[in-house]
A = this chain, B = another copy of it.
Amino acid sequence: MNNLSPKVQNQLSMLQQIQQQLQTVLSQKAQYEMAVREAKRAQEEISDAAEDAVMYMSVGTVMMQKKKEVINSKLAEKVETLELRIKSLEKQEKMMQGKFEQLQAQIKAALEGKGTPTAA
């Protein structure tokens, strides 16, 4: 990077930072999406059961017996919360993507304007 101007070097390191933040956002989103799928599978499974079927729900290491309708509403709440978080992550993702492409264009323009790196 010795032939790059401080400005371009700075833009390159910002590019790297955004890439890392984007990675974090995407992996967080993937985790929430998996949790939504799991909660929806549980809702389906429950919908087949009798109203008085024996069911438990776990929070960490504790399992508590709960009525079908209680579990159902807790799952619905969970799905709703997770989907809100996913939407918020998608907004962040879009903003980062925009910033990323803008930086990329600026760096490309700077490098092309400069000619070959060894040119005086």
Could you tell me if A53 and B64 are in contact, using CB atoms closer than 8 angstroms? yes
Could you tell me if B64 and A55 are in contact, using CB atoms closer than 8 angstroms? yes
Question: In this complex, which of A54, A60, A63 has the most chain B Cβ atoms within 10 angstroms of its Cβ?
Answer: A60
How many chain copies? Answer: 4
Across-interface contacts of A2 in B (CB, < 8 A) = none
Across-interface contacts of A75 in B (CB, < 8 A) = 62
Across-interface contacts of A55 in B (CB, < 8 A) = 62-65
Stretch at the interface among A23-31, A37-45, A103-111: A37-45
Q: How far is the CB of A43 from chain B (nearest CB, A)?
A: 9
Across-interface contacts of A41 in B (CB, < 8 A) = 59-60
Q: Compute how far the CA of A12 lies from the CA of B103 in the bound complex, rounded to whole angstroms.
A: 27
